Amino acid sequence: MEWENQTILVEFFLKGLSGYPRLELLFFVLILIMYVVILLGNGTLILISILDSHLHTPMYFFLGNLSFLDICYTTTSIPSTLVSFFSEKKTISFTGCAVQMFLGLAMGTTECVLLGMMAFDRYVAICNPLRYPVIMSKDSFVPMAAGSWIIGVINSAVQTVFVVQLPFCRNNVINHFSCEILAVMKLACADISGNEFIMLVATTLFILTPLLLIIISYTLIIVSILKIRSSEGRSKVFSTCSAHLTVVIIFYGTILFMYMKPKSKETLHSDDLDATDKLISMFYGVITPMMNPLIYSLRNKDVKEAVKHLLRRNVFNK
């Protein structure tokens, strides 16, 4: 097929909520508040996991990585989104778009794999407590966390390289707040079936495989918990993994709904669907990282005690 108006794009226009100035102001305030909460909440978790010796365990090492990941992930898109709300020039360079696409996909993939590692950690802690210090030694959990980051970077690099090599026509309007990979691919004036196949393989390997590991781990955990006779014992054991399970449900629930819900471009309400996709994407990109530290703080006694200890130490130092 021959494509007309093919050109070399130097920038993209991020549509976002263009044409709705009141909504832009509302979203600016909401996203700014959420971003501050993300920085404070996740920054606090990182700080206490480093300073409190009681939290020098595999679970909190993974949690520190997750908090750092959430800060990095949101920082790749939120500041530029906030600026675009009040900027007349809502454009991003081709290179800037590629970098944003790479970082966002890398962070997202890393978080999927890291959540799978955390589920395995909880499985070993609950189902094989006597072997836990051996299985989850420092020689094990540090490479597991590092491997999550490496997998995320490699997957993102491969997909980003294939996308930036696509030819783009004169339509440079990205119907999104940021350079989301699917939104960018739709602008290509070429067959993207190869890119879609690569994305399908990557989704299976790095999103669904960790999800399968999480499901298997928690199935075995639930079976183990049900064997405990006392309700108090069951409640105590379940509390050690309830925070992680809540985060997994929010994270994967949003991803599965966003990418696997039925879509029909021929429907008369396609604009409404596009708006829905944007809101879901914002929920996934902002609210989930904001909720993670809140969930772990409210449902974890060790974290609450560590925060109280940190606050008391700061007060006494003053």
Residue-wise pLDDT tens digits, 200-229? 898 888 888 999 999 999 999 999 998 888
Task: Tell whether the model's pLDDT for residue 166 goes beyond 60.
Answer: yes
Q: Residue 265: what pLDDT? A: 47
**Domain carrying residue 179:** 89-258+279-289
Task: Tell whether the model's pLDDT for residue 137 goes beyond 80.
Answer: yes
At 156, list the tokens.
Answer: 């993102």
Count CA atoms within 13 Å of residue 161 on its CB side.
7
Q: Residue 236: what pLDDT? A: 83
Residues recorded for the chain: 318
Classify residue 179: in a domain, yes or no.
Answer: yes
CA distances from 310 to 186, 295, 306, 313 (A): 49, 19, 6, 5
At 64, list the tokens.
Answer: 């520190």
**Chain segment 79-93, per-residue pLDDT in tens:** 888 887 777 777 888
Classify residue 30: in a domain, yes or no.
Answer: no
Classify residue 3: in a domain, yes or no.
Answer: no
The pLDDT confidence band at residue 268, using thresholds 50, 70 and 90, is very low
Classify residue 147: in a domain, yes or no.
Answer: yes
Question: Can you tell me the mean pLDDT for 12-40?
Answer: 82
Domain count, the chain: 1
Task: Tell whether the model's pLDDT for residue 155 goes beyond 90.
Answer: yes
Q: What proportion of the chain, given as a percentage, has pLDDT over 70? A: 85
Task: Tell whether the model's pLDDT for residue 36 goes beyond 90.
Answer: yes
Q: Which residues contact 147 (CB under 8 A, 6 or more apart)?
A: 113
Q: Residue 33: what pLDDT? A: 93
Give the CATH number for residue 171: 1.20.1070.10
Classify residue 212: in a domain, yes or no.
Answer: yes
Classify residue 10: in a domain, yes or no.
Answer: no
CB-count burial class (<10 Å; 0-12, 13-18, 19+) for 108: buried
Mean pLDDT of the chain: 83
Angle formed by the axes of helices 231-260 and 270-282, nearest 10°: 140
User: Buried b / exposed e across 41-59, counting CB within 10 Å, b at 16+?
Assistant: bbebbbebbeebeebebbb
Classify residue 13: in a domain, yes or no.
Answer: no
Task: Tell whether the model's pLDDT for residue 71 goes beyond 90.
Answer: yes
Classify residue 140: in a domain, yes or no.
Answer: yes
